Amino acid sequence: MRVRIVVADQAEARFFDLAPPATTLQVSGRLLDPSARLHERERVSDRPGRVFDRAPAAGARRGARAHHDTGGERSARRESTVVFVRRIVAQLEQAHQQGRFERRVLMAQPHVLGMLRATLPVQLERCVVAQVHKDLVHQGEEAVRAHIPPHALG
Protein backbone atom coordinates (compact mmCIF):
# COMPACT_ATOMS: atom_id res chain seq x y z
CA MET A 1 0.00 0.00 0.00
CA ARG A 2 1.36 3.36 -0.98
CA VAL A 3 1.40 6.01 1.72
CA ARG A 4 1.43 9.76 1.09
CA ILE A 5 3.00 11.76 3.91
CA VAL A 6 2.09 15.44 4.13
CA VAL A 7 4.41 17.62 6.22
CA ALA A 8 3.11 21.19 6.48
CA ASP A 9 3.09 24.50 8.28
CA GLN A 10 1.42 27.79 7.35
CA ALA A 11 4.03 28.60 4.65
CA GLU A 12 5.30 25.32 3.24
CA ALA A 13 4.08 21.82 2.50
CA ARG A 14 6.22 18.85 1.50
CA PHE A 15 4.83 15.60 0.14
CA PHE A 16 6.55 12.24 0.44
CA ASP A 17 5.57 8.82 -0.86
CA LEU A 18 6.42 5.55 0.79
CA ALA A 19 5.66 2.11 -0.58
CA PRO A 20 6.32 -0.50 2.14
CA PRO A 21 8.39 -2.62 2.54
CA ALA A 22 10.73 0.13 1.25
CA THR A 23 11.94 2.40 4.03
CA THR A 24 13.14 5.40 2.03
CA LEU A 25 10.88 8.37 1.45
CA GLN A 26 10.44 9.58 -2.11
CA VAL A 27 9.87 13.33 -2.48
CA SER A 28 6.70 13.81 -4.52
CA GLY A 29 6.09 17.54 -4.30
CA ARG A 30 6.33 20.83 -2.50
CA LEU A 31 4.10 23.87 -2.12
CA LEU A 32 5.21 27.29 -0.91
CA ASP A 33 3.36 30.38 0.22
CA PRO A 34 5.98 33.16 0.43
CA SER A 35 3.45 35.69 1.72
CA ALA A 36 2.86 33.59 4.86
CA ARG A 37 6.05 34.89 6.44
CA LEU A 38 4.94 38.52 6.11
CA HIS A 39 3.86 40.47 9.16
CA GLU A 40 0.24 41.60 9.38
CA ARG A 41 1.14 45.24 8.72
CA GLU A 42 2.85 44.20 5.48
CA ARG A 43 -0.31 42.47 4.25
CA VAL A 44 -2.90 45.16 4.82
CA SER A 45 -2.68 48.90 4.72
CA ASP A 46 -5.16 49.70 7.46
CA ARG A 47 -5.07 49.24 11.22
CA PRO A 48 -7.73 47.07 12.81
CA GLY A 49 -10.81 48.77 14.23
CA ARG A 50 -10.98 49.89 17.88
CA VAL A 51 -13.42 48.74 20.54
CA PHE A 52 -14.21 50.57 23.76
CA ASP A 53 -14.96 48.16 26.58
CA ARG A 54 -17.48 50.26 28.50
CA ALA A 55 -18.56 53.77 29.26
CA PRO A 56 -17.47 55.36 32.55
CA ALA A 57 -19.65 55.23 35.64
CA ALA A 58 -21.68 58.27 36.64
CA GLY A 59 -19.45 61.01 38.01
CA ALA A 60 -16.28 59.41 36.64
CA ARG A 61 -13.92 60.69 34.01
CA ARG A 62 -15.26 61.17 30.54
CA GLY A 63 -14.43 58.63 27.86
CA ALA A 64 -14.05 54.90 27.87
CA ARG A 65 -12.02 53.10 30.48
CA ALA A 66 -10.25 50.74 28.08
CA HIS A 67 -10.00 50.17 24.39
CA HIS A 68 -8.35 47.60 22.16
CA ASP A 69 -8.16 46.56 18.54
CA THR A 70 -10.38 43.96 16.90
CA GLY A 71 -9.99 41.52 14.07
CA GLY A 72 -7.62 38.91 15.45
CA GLU A 73 -9.84 36.05 14.29
CA ARG A 74 -10.23 37.61 10.83
CA SER A 75 -6.62 38.56 10.25
CA ALA A 76 -5.04 38.58 6.81
CA ARG A 77 -2.45 36.07 8.02
CA ARG A 78 -5.14 33.58 9.04
CA GLU A 79 -6.97 34.03 5.75
CA SER A 80 -3.71 33.40 3.88
CA THR A 81 -3.22 30.17 5.84
CA VAL A 82 -6.76 29.04 4.98
CA VAL A 83 -6.10 29.63 1.26
CA PHE A 84 -2.80 27.74 1.50
CA VAL A 85 -4.46 24.77 3.25
CA ARG A 86 -7.01 24.64 0.43
CA ARG A 87 -4.12 24.43 -2.06
CA ILE A 88 -2.68 21.49 -0.12
CA VAL A 89 -6.04 19.70 -0.11
CA ALA A 90 -6.51 20.35 -3.84
CA GLN A 91 -3.14 18.75 -4.58
CA LEU A 92 -4.05 15.76 -2.40
CA GLU A 93 -7.37 15.37 -4.21
CA GLN A 94 -5.63 15.40 -7.57
CA ALA A 95 -3.09 12.75 -6.48
CA HIS A 96 -5.87 10.62 -4.96
CA GLN A 97 -7.91 10.74 -8.17
CA GLN A 98 -4.82 9.64 -10.11
CA GLY A 99 -4.44 6.66 -7.75
CA ARG A 100 -1.04 7.65 -6.38
CA PHE A 101 -1.77 6.58 -2.77
CA GLU A 102 -4.17 4.56 -0.66
CA ARG A 103 -3.19 5.83 2.81
CA ARG A 104 -2.17 9.21 4.13
CA VAL A 105 -0.26 10.55 7.12
CA LEU A 106 -0.63 14.20 8.13
CA MET A 107 2.18 15.97 9.99
CA ALA A 108 1.65 19.64 10.75
CA GLN A 109 1.57 22.36 13.35
CA PRO A 110 -1.52 21.88 15.53
CA HIS A 111 -3.50 24.82 14.11
CA VAL A 112 -2.62 23.90 10.51
CA LEU A 113 -3.51 20.26 11.17
CA GLY A 114 -6.90 21.39 12.48
CA MET A 115 -7.49 23.42 9.33
CA LEU A 116 -6.45 20.46 7.16
CA ARG A 117 -8.89 18.14 8.93
CA ALA A 118 -11.70 20.68 8.60
CA THR A 119 -11.03 21.17 4.89
CA LEU A 120 -10.60 17.53 3.82
CA PRO A 121 -13.42 16.02 1.79
CA VAL A 122 -14.87 12.73 3.03
CA GLN A 123 -13.07 10.48 0.50
CA LEU A 124 -9.69 11.87 1.59
CA GLU A 125 -10.58 11.79 5.27
CA ARG A 126 -11.11 8.03 5.02
CA CYS A 127 -7.50 7.62 3.80
CA VAL A 128 -5.96 9.26 6.87
CA VAL A 129 -4.25 6.60 8.97
CA ALA A 130 -2.22 8.85 11.28
CA GLN A 131 -1.87 12.46 12.38
CA VAL A 132 1.23 13.94 13.98
CA HIS A 133 0.98 17.30 15.77
CA LYS A 134 4.52 18.50 15.06
CA ASP A 135 6.15 21.09 12.85
CA LEU A 136 8.61 18.97 10.87
CA VAL A 137 8.74 21.00 7.65
CA HIS A 138 12.28 22.19 8.23
CA GLN A 139 13.52 18.80 9.47
CA GLY A 140 15.25 16.23 7.33
CA GLU A 141 13.70 13.11 5.86
CA GLU A 142 15.11 11.03 8.73
CA ALA A 143 13.15 13.05 11.29
CA VAL A 144 9.97 12.73 9.22
CA ARG A 145 10.49 8.98 8.87
CA ALA A 146 11.09 8.65 12.63
CA HIS A 147 7.69 10.27 13.41
CA ILE A 148 5.64 7.99 11.15
CA PRO A 149 3.64 5.69 13.46
CA PRO A 150 4.27 1.98 12.76
CA HIS A 151 0.57 1.22 12.30
CA ALA A 152 0.42 3.69 9.39
CA LEU A 153 2.69 1.52 7.29
CA GLY A 154 1.03 -1.84 7.78
Q: How far apart are CA 129 and CA 119, in angstroms?
A: 17
The pLDDT tens digits for 118-134 are 999 999 999 999 999 99
The CA-to-CA distance between both ends of the chain, in Å, stands at 8
Beta strand spans in the chain (E): 3-8, 12-18, 26-32, 50-52, 67-69, 103-108, 128-133
Low-confidence ranges of the chain (pLDDT < 50): none
Q: What is the pLDDT of residue 51?
A: 64
Q: What is the pLDDT of residue 96?
A: 93
Q: How far is CA 115 from the centre of its chain?
A: 6
| Domain 1-29+74-154, architecture per CATH | 2-Layer Sandwich (3.30)
Residue extents of the structural domains in the chain: 1-29+74-154
Q: What is the pLDDT of residue 138?
A: 92
3-state secondary structure of 93: helix
Q: What is the pLDDT of residue 24?
A: 85
Q: What is the pLDDT of residue 80?
A: 85
